[in-house]
Structure 1
Amino acid sequence: MIRTATPVDIDAIVQLHTEARATYYRGHLPEEEYAGAAEVGRSRNGWARAIDRPDATVLCAERDGTLAGIAAFAVRDGVMHLTQLHVSPSHWRTGIGTELHTACVDAWRQAGVDSARLEVFVHNTRAQAFYTDRGWAPDPDHPRAGTHLVLRLTVS
């Protein structure tokens, strides 16, 4: 089931977000930068703000009453941004990422969005393949932002 997140979801969202990020940052960044107390606190504040923002959407994917995936998107500088899409590693390859992605794209279509942008860590080749399989391509104007590749999707 895909549903809109509420403040009650914050603890589970932060746990899932931290767990998922560790899978691609481990070995590339110091642990405190993705799983340290300060970073987890920053993450908690960011997710809480996103849930409360009227111009942002945070989606949760549940399986058997447990949070299995999360996605967030918002318009920044006039462009739709997929800011987060994470699936709990214990639920990888079960279709949750595809369901969340489809829910995001469907919402964008309903809102009349014609393109979206995202950033993906250069070493996260699993996510890069996921997005490429769904039609995302390097942003021709800004293909990279620091340690992240920038991808665009034409929403049709």
Structure 2
Amino acid sequence: MDVRAATPADLDDIVDLHTRARITYYGAGGLPLGEIVDPELAREQRDGWTAAIAAPHKHVRVAVIEGRVVGLLAMGPPHSSEVNAAQLYQIHVDPECWGRGVGSTLHGLFLRHLEAEGLAVGVLEVWERNTRARAFYTRHGWRPDGTTRPGPAAAPYLGMRLHHP
């Protein structure tokens, strides 16, 4: 597996992977397909990923196996005003590649980002019903921080924190 910085040439693969991952975890959480995928959301995703790849303060990485994007990491400054922290915006792994270490490799890049920037805290949000992601982050040392914000299907996004030595 090769992990590298995402480029605009990766945009179609990134949007496709993000869409497939969303269908899997939101679908498992009971959200109807029509609320997960629609043309307006697809445009928003494409615009968001285009901006994230171009933003100097954000970092988007792709994991590639045999020329195919199988994983995605986005990280950068926190959405909150928190200092001495970085936010793990998203990790997505192609559902066909779950259990092969792609997510853990990408998570390790986030930890290296914290170290390189001299930051002590990682923050993230995860959908309450995405039990697979919540278990993944818990295994990697993340703990709920008590914050929430509204999410789809009346299930909130939960804040989590990681204290990095």
Q: Name the TM-score class by shorter chain.
A: over 0.9
Q: What is the deviation of 1:82? A: 0.6
Unmatched 5+ stretches in structure 1: none
Residue equivalent to 1:19: 20
Structure 1 segments of 4+ aligned residues over 3 angstroms from their partners: none
**More moved, 91-100 vs 68-77:** 68-77
| Structure-to-structure mapping, 1:65-76, within 5 angstroms | 65-76=67-78
Q: Deviations over 1:84-103 (max 9, x none)?
A: 10000011000000000001
SS of equivalent residue, structure 1 residue 62: strand
CA RMSD of aligned residues (A): 1.2
Q: CA deviation at 1:70?
A: 0.1
TM-score using structure 1 length: 0.94
2:77 partner SS: strand
Tell me the TM-score normalised to structure 2 length.
0.89
Identity fraction in percent? 39
1:25-57 CA deviation, whole Å, 9 max, x = no partner?
Answer: 125334233211111110010000000000000
Pick the aligned partner of 1:133 from 139, 147, 151: 139
Q: 1:24 deviation in Å?
A: 1.4
Instruction: Report how many residues are paired.
Output: 154
C-alpha distance in 1 between matches for 2:32 and 2:48 = 21
Q: How does 1:2-151 map to 2 (within 5 A)?
A: 2-26=3-27, 28-76=30-78, 77=81, 78=83, 79-140=85-146, 142=147, 144-146=148-150, 147-151=156-160
Is residue 86–residue 97 contact of structure 1 (8 Å, CA) maintained in 2? Answer: yes
Q: CA-to-partner distance for each residue in 1:11-36, whole Å, 9 max, x for gaps?
A: 00000000001111125334233211
1:107, CA displacement in angstroms? 1.4
Q: Counterparts of 1:35 and 1:121 in 2: how far apart (Å)?
A: 17
